[in-house]
């Protein structure tokens, strides 16, 4: 029964693994880590308190890892600025670094 519960919780959290931006990565990492940590903590201890502690630790770890694993597509800067007719700046050319 424990293996079925663990497999079901991991499969339920699997769609949260794909992400695009840093904020999405942080949020999805926290959700995925929290669900996985709660499942592992609950199965390891057999009590609700173990699930709470595992969920909290998993969410914190997932958020940290998710925020720090952003790909190079998030790292870019503007190299050429132009102005619209209202005097507001906008970027004409982006460079990735």
Residues 68-96 have pLDDT tens digits of: 776 655 567 888 899 999 999 999 988 86
DSSP 25-85: HHHHHHHHHHHHHHHHHHHHHSSHHHHHHHHHHHHHHHHHHHHHT--GGG-EEEEEEEE-T
Q: Write down the pTM of the prediction.
A: 0.54
Domain assignments of the chain as residue spans, ordered by start: 2-96
Residues 40-76 have pLDDT tens digits of: 998 888 888 888 999 999 999 988 888 777 665 556 7
The per-residue pLDDT for 2 is: 66
Do the beta carbons of residue 29 and residue 59 sit within 8 Å?
A: no
């Amino acid at each position: 029964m424990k293996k079925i519960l663990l497999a079901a919780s991991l499969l339920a959290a699997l769609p949260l693994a794909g992400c695009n931006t840093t904020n999405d990565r942080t949020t999805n990492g926290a959700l995925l880590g929290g669900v996985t940590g709660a499942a592992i903590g609950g199965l390891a201890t057999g009590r609700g308190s173990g699930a709470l502690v595992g969920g909290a630790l998993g969410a914190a770890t997932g958020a940290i890892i998710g925020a720090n694993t952003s790909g190079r597509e998030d790292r870019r800067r503007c190299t050429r600025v132009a102005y619209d007719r209202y005097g507001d700046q906008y970027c004409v050319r982006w460079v990735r670094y």
